Amino acid sequence: MAVKEESNAKSTQAQTIKLKIGMLGFGSFGQFLANTMIKQGHSIIATSRSDYTHICENMGIQFFRDHDDFCEEHPEVIVLSTSILSAEETMRSLPLHRLKRNTLFVDVLSVKEFPRQLLLQVLPQECGILCTHPMFGPESGKHGWASLPLVYDKVRPGLSPQKCDNFLNIFRAEGCRMVEMSCAEHDRHAAESQFITHTVGRILSQLNLESTPINTKGYETLLNLTNNTVSDSFDLYYGLFMYNINSTDQIEKLDCAFEAIKKELHGQLHHVLWKKMLQKLPEQLSKPSFDSLAAKSYLPSNYMAMAVKEESNAKSTRVQTKKLKIGMLGFGNFGQFLANTMIKQGHSIIATSRSDYTHICENMGIQFFRDRDDFCEEHPEVIVLGTSILSAEETMRSLPLHRLKRNTLFVDVLSVKEFPRQLLLQVLPQECGILCTHPMFGPESGKHGWAGLPLVYDKVRPGLSPQKCDDFLNIFGAEGCRMVEMSCAEHDRHAAESQFITHTVGRILSQLNLEPTPINTKGYETLLNLTKNTVSDSFDLYYGLFMYNVNSTDQIEKLDRAFEAVKKELHGRLHQALWKQMLQKLPEKALTNPNKEISSPAQLAGSTARPC
């Protein structure tokens, strides 16, 4: 069936005929739907395995513990809103002979093809069947249902086909986006949108992620996704896997994507180490190697972890915006992004880079130098190290420092902090100041201004002109940034969680080539946006987060274990379900014969089992 969508505006044409509706299953989702139905004036009765008598009394509806009593009330519509795991047992035990022949059955489960087949098998021909899926719940629909998608498939009209439209008008009247779609098509899309979203949330929940003082917007979306996902029961998630034939394919794709990302990361790491072994020539042995830098970087001996200090994120009228002459060492997208704001504040900017940005600099009204000697002889008061982290060491060791003034302040803006801190301490003369910073935003997240966005900094060494650190930081303070003073080591520990995990999830999802579906959930749209924002950054930036932050290896191992734990629980439950099903198919004598051992599904399969 082709997908058909109706307007999401509240329709005055929706015929709100009052219905007598029986809720078969009355958990959180059933109660959520019933509240709106009651407000619209429909008559509701309910039954469930658990006793919801008191809740129903508070809602002004009647609750039945006995299914016979429930069916004898002759509801016009019965809404199947049990757990999907108990749907078959519930339907097969329902005393259908006590219902009117023209009863309409509506399922609201998260998968569609399974309940469709179940209802077609169980129900008499006279009963109508309408399969629906409200793509929202108590959390996402708490402020109303306007524009939220309601997927439906009119499977069988029964004796009273008009009842389908009468029931659907409940959602039309609330302004839902009505999407008519076959059950099979729904399950294909839901395997991407719902199952992938829940799987990512379940994996992240295993990591016990917490908010950090340097949250990025991407990391906050993952925290929210995790909270929303684990608020649903595992049974709901397991139902998405067990009862949707497309889910197995999706988890295999996710597994392959994760392996591809790990392979690329470790492949690049091997390439770098191999290259460094080849470079161990006599003339270079006197220079500090990356290995020696790393050893000192990760075992700092000359400072204790600095307590985190935050300043107000309001734009301060007390910020002294002293005009500085700033040299941009590296002038890619991020360097240009920073320079634009610096220019607006009246600072004087010059730039140099491996690539030729002459025309871009001309358009910005600043001077570009291809020669680094010429650049240094301009005597910038501040030099901003904004190169790729992969080229930072080579850039700094080749810079003609003797052509600079002794009181030059060096500021790094790289995504990791402990490595550039140790690099600058080793390379720069004692007189030069060192300020390590990390603007936790970029051209995309900071395009509407920097107010409230975090700027992490560590005043590593004051140099001959300590006031310059504050003068430079005032650039961010004047824009309303949330100023967070934090040691480089502490930054890297938090960044391994917030930045590296966020980028890793985005990179994994990018391997799946996810696309919008007609039934996007809010969680799935979050993942699509995260993927888009993540892959807009170069792989070098992501690789730098892995290569130059010692904490990242631990995070990717935790992510790996979390994924394995989720897969193990899914497949364990699947094995248990198959085992139970096989036991039920055995002759009664086999189950009661004490001399017959039953030890595995393979033995139960008998002659059909083949050796590997």
Residues 518 and 405 in one domain: no
Residue 186 falls within a domain, yes or no?
no
pLDDT for the residue 105: 98
Residue 582 has pLDDT above 90, yes or no: no
Residue 604 has pLDDT above 60, yes or no: no
Residue 595 has pLDDT above 60, yes or no: no
Residue 556 has pLDDT above 70, yes or no: yes
The average pLDDT across 240-269 equals 84
Helix, strand, coil percentages (3-state) for the chain, rounded to 5, are 50, 15, 35
Per-residue pLDDT band for 545 (boundaries 50, 70, 90) equals confident
Spatial distance between the Cα atoms of 108 and 117, rounded to a whole number of angstroms: 14
Residue 290 has pLDDT above 90, yes or no: no
HEC readout, 510-542: HCCCCCCCCCCCHHHHHHHHHHHHHHCCCHHHH
Cβ atoms < 10 Å from Cβ of 514: 18
Higher pLDDT, 309 or 375: 375
pLDDT for the residue 108: 97
Spatial distance between the Cα atoms of 336 and 366, rounded to a whole number of angstroms: 11
Where a domain ends, among 181, 202, 219?
Answer: 181
Give the helix/strand (H/E) hosting 239: helix 234-242
> Which tens digits make up the pLDDT trace of 320-330?
568 999 999 99
Residue 326 falls within a domain, yes or no?
yes
pLDDT for the residue 309: 59
E strands, 267-343, are 309-310, 325-329
Q: Which residue, among 552, 544, 554, has the nearest Cα to 393 in the 3D structure?
A: 544
> Which tens digits make up the pLDDT trace of 409-452?
999 999 999 999 999 999 999 999 999 999 999 888 899 999 99
Where a domain ends, among 181, 214, 238?
Answer: 181
The average pLDDT across 275-283 equals 51
Residue 293 has pLDDT above 50, yes or no: no
pLDDT for the residue 471: 97
Residue 269 falls within a domain, yes or no?
no
Are the beta carbons of 333 and 447 closer than 8 angstroms?
Answer: no
Residues 506 and 430 in one domain: no
DSSP secondary structure of 56-84 = HHHHT-EEESSHHHHHHT--SEEEE-S-G
Residue 246 is encoded by which pair of tokens? Answer: 């497309």
Residue 9 has pLDDT above 70, yes or no: no
Are the beta carbons of 574 and 555 closer than 8 angstroms?
Answer: no
Residue 574 falls within a domain, yes or no?
no
Where a domain ends, among 126, 151, 181?
Answer: 181
Range with lowest mean pLDDT among 9-13, 95-99, 394-398, 585-589:
9-13
Spatial distance between the Cα atoms of 322 and 34, rounded to a whole number of angstroms: 63
Per-residue pLDDT band for 279 (boundaries 50, 70, 90) equals low
Per-residue pLDDT band for 562 (boundaries 50, 70, 90) equals confident
> Phi and psi at residue 348, in whole multiples of 5°?
-95, 125
Domain range enclosing 42: 4-181
Q: What is the CATH classification number for the domain harbouring 412?
A: 3.40.50.720
pLDDT for the residue 581: 67
Spatial distance between the Cα atoms of 437 and 510, rounded to a whole number of angstroms: 29
pLDDT for the residue 248: 86
- In Å, how far from its chain's centre is CA 568? 21
- pTM equals 0.65
Distances (CA, A) of 566 to 168, 241, 556, 580: 36, 11, 15, 21
pLDDT for the residue 244: 87
Residues 316 and 436 in one domain: yes
pLDDT for the residue 261: 85
Residues 145 and 242 in one domain: no
> Which tens digits make up the pLDDT trace of 194-204?
889 899 989 99
The amino acid sitting at 466 is: P
| DSSP helix/strand/coil, 435 | strand
The average pLDDT across 136-145 equals 90
pLDDT for the residue 297: 36
Max CA separation in the chain (angstroms): 95
Residue 282 falls within a domain, yes or no?
no
Residues 454 and 479 in one domain: yes
> Which tens digits make up the pLDDT trace of 186-245?
999 989 888 898 999 899 999 888 898 888 888 888 988 888 888 778 888 888 888 888
Residue 594 has pLDDT above 90, yes or no: no
Higher pLDDT, 344 or 14: 344
Residues 98 and 149 in one domain: yes
Residues 389 and 449 in one domain: yes
Higher pLDDT, 273 or 514: 514
Q: Which residues contact 588 (CB under 8 A, 6 or more apart)?
A: none
> Which tens digits make up the pLDDT trace of 24-55?
999 999 999 999 999 999 999 999 999 999 99
Spatial distance between the Cα atoms of 80 and 86, rounded to a whole number of angstroms: 11
> Which tens digits make up the pLDDT trace of 509-538?
889 888 898 888 888 888 888 888 888 777
pLDDT for the residue 275: 59
Spatial distance between the Cα atoms of 336 and 376, rounded to a whole number of angstroms: 19
Residues 332 and 409 in one domain: yes
Per-residue pLDDT band for 575 (boundaries 50, 70, 90) equals low
Residue 90 falls within a domain, yes or no?
yes
Spatial distance between the Cα atoms of 446 and 450, rounded to a whole number of angstroms: 5
Residue 530 is encoded by which pair of tokens? Answer: 């995260």
Residues 374 and 429 in one domain: yes
pLDDT for the residue 294: 37
Residues 471 and 501 in one domain: no
pLDDT for the residue 586: 60
Number of domains in the chain: 3
Residues 329 and 216 in one domain: no
Residue 591 has pLDDT above 60, yes or no: no
Residues 202 and 177 in one domain: no
Give the residue ranges of DSSP H helices in 206-246: 217-230, 234-242
Mean pLDDT in the chain? 85
Higher pLDDT, 320 or 247: 247
Residue 173 is encoded by which pair of tokens? Answer: 């009247």
The amino acid sitting at 421 is: R
Residue 593 falls within a domain, yes or no?
no
Residue 248 falls within a domain, yes or no?
yes
Spatial distance between the Cα atoms of 9 and 532, rounded to a whole number of angstroms: 29
Phi-psi group of 452: left, alpha or beta (phi > 0 → left; psi -120 to 50 → alpha; rest → beta)? left
Residue 89 has pLDDT above 80, yes or no: yes
| DSSP helix/strand/coil, 482 | strand
Per-residue pLDDT band for 588 (boundaries 50, 70, 90) equals low
Q: Which residue, among 536, 535, 557, has the nearest Cα to 546 in the 3D structure?
A: 557
DSSP code of 179? E
Per-residue pLDDT band for 573 (boundaries 50, 70, 90) equals confident
- In Å, how far from its chain's centre is CA 452? 22
Phi-psi group of 228: left, alpha or beta (phi > 0 → left; psi -120 to 50 → alpha; rest → beta)? alpha
Spatial distance between the Cα atoms of 491 and 294, rounded to a whole number of angstroms: 16
Are the beta carbons of 79 and 22 closer than 8 angstroms?
Answer: yes
